[in-house]
Amino acid sequence: MKIADVRIFPVWIAPRNRLMVKVETDKGYHGWGESGVIGREMAVAGALRHFREFLIGKDPMRIGALWQEMYRGAYFEGGRVLAGAISAVDIALHDLVGKKLGVPVYQLLGGAHRTRVPCFTTVNMPIGPAALAEAKRLAAQGWPVIRMCDGMPGEPADRTLYEPRASIAHTAPWIQRVREEVGRGTVLGIEYHHRLSVAEAASFCQKLPPGTLDFIEEPIRAESPDAYAALRRMTGVPFAVGEEFASKWAFAPFIERDLINFARLDLCNIGGFTEAMKVAGWCEAHYIDVMPHNPLGPISTAANLHFAAAVPNYAWLEERTRDYDSSDALFPGHPRLDGVTYPVPAGPGLGVEFDETLAEESFRFWEPPHFRRRDGSYTNY
């Protein structure tokens, strides 16, 4: 059996683009993967076109060797764009091989540790009265883990205006109110989307009574482990970090120096199952739980369910179907949430397909908001 084609589908599926990859063989088997480099899909598509040139004719059963060839096959190794492309191919190869052997992907990863995958949910609006009401509603529904977002005071006419200190002053008391309303039994976190400096993140954490937060996600940018080490000395709030990392090497200093408590690896950015399993094992050795980033579509979610089944040190999967709904027709067999957990898929491969014939809307260029401060300078989205 040989790889016959690598087909690339950068398509608009509201509210933004997604990039699916289909690996086909000369024996009729195929597999689906998804890349997670949101907003730069055409860059990933370009990398995939390069990979396609040497992947055709190769044995799809040699997944690990093909990973190494994609990563090491050119002088310039790694980076988020190449890792996003490798991820999509790696996930598709696991799907393909699972179908060929008639087993779920998690069997290729060592078998299942669990039959259901615990999830966390997000109040996906700026923190304030409406967000507080939504958090109370979700807690009443039985969600054990709720993640909040930061906010700005008032109702800014310009939604791209972002002042970190103003956000801190506004967000801290609201987070305390959320904790009071949802109770101590709910795991409570906040996503700061790397918008703060070390001093700002420390100031935010220090404004909260001990025990308010169970984790703070991406409080600062993650290029510098030393910056996280400095922040760790200033606060005891657990850190959830890693959704931007594109390799085990990026995780290395954060794991070895005990700078993270929840590994937010992204299966569609880290290098697929092949790299994610290595990071998960490394985390297990340091008593770090895995808490994957999953803001994409049903292929990503299905892949994460198999990963979750195969990993012992698993915390929660990011659940976003309330924000990114997908039709049954476009993704046949897509995972379905059962209460606040997902059942582990039982069929061969990933268990989900993508009907490219129904993806009528072609790629369209899309940008996230470009945040700026009052002085006109740009800041982190």
Write out pLDDT tens, residues 356-377. 887 766 888 988 889 999 999 9
Convert the pLDDT of each residue in 100-133 to its tens digit: 999 999 999 999 999 999 999 999 999 999 999 9
The pLDDT score that the predictor gives to residue 322 is 61
Return d(Cα 337, Cα 315) in angstroms, integer: 17
| pLDDT (mean) for 41-63 | 97
Does pLDDT of 380 surpass 80? Answer: yes
More confident residue, 19 or 358: 19
The pLDDT score that the predictor gives to residue 23 is 98
| pLDDT (mean) for 42-52 | 97
The pLDDT score that the predictor gives to residue 324 is 58
Does pLDDT of 258 surpass 60? Answer: yes
The pLDDT score that the predictor gives to residue 358 is 77
The pLDDT score that the predictor gives to residue 329 is 81
Residue 50 annotated among the catalytic residues of the structure: no
For the chain, what are the domain ranges? 3-103, 107-348
Convert the pLDDT of each residue in 150-196 to its tens digit: 999 987 678 889 999 999 999 999 999 999 999 999 999 999 999 99
| pLDDT (mean) for 30-44 | 95
CATH of 3-103, one of 3.40.120.10, 3.40.50.300, 3.30.390.10, 1.10.3720.10: 3.30.390.10
| Catalytic position from the list 170, 293, 306, 334 | 293
Convert the pLDDT of each residue in 276-297 to its tens digit: 999 999 999 999 999 999 999 9
More confident residue, 326 or 216: 216
Return d(Cα 227, Cα 260) in angstroms, integer: 12
Residue 370 annotated among the catalytic residues of the structure: no
- φ and ψ at 89, to 5 degrees? -65, -45
Q: What percent of the chain has pLDDT over 90?
A: 87
- Using CA atoms, how far residue 87 sits from 46, 94, 194, 225, 303, in Å, is 14, 11, 23, 24, 11
The pLDDT score that the predictor gives to residue 326 is 60
Q: What is the Cα gyration radius of the chain?
A: 21
Instruction: Take residue 274 and report the two structure tokens written for it.
Output: 């092949």
Helical H segments across the chain, by residue range: 41-55, 63-72, 80-101, 105-108, 129-141, 164-182, 198-206, 225-234, 248-256, 272-285, 298-310
The pLDDT score that the predictor gives to residue 323 is 57
Return d(Cα 336, Cα 301) in angstroms, integer: 10
| pLDDT (mean) for 262-288 | 98
227-234: long-range contacts, CB 8 A cutoff, minimum separation 24: 227/198, 228/254, 228/259, 228/260, 229/257, 229/259, 230/198, 231/198, 231/201, 231/202, 232/258, 232/259, 234/198, 234/202, 234/205, 234/206
pTM of model > 0.75: yes
| pLDDT (mean) for 265-273 | 97
| Catalytic position from the list 193, 286, 334, 370 | 193
Are 279 and 285 in contact by the 8 Å Cβ rule? The answer is no
Q: What is the residue-averaged pLDDT of the chain? A: 94
- Using CA atoms, how far residue 18 sits from 28, 117, 298, in Å, is 25, 24, 11
Does pLDDT of 355 surpass 60? Answer: yes
- Judged by phi (left if over 0) then psi (alpha if -120 to 50, else beta), residue 301 lies in alpha
As its CATH architecture, domain 107-348 has: Alpha-Beta Barrel (3.20)
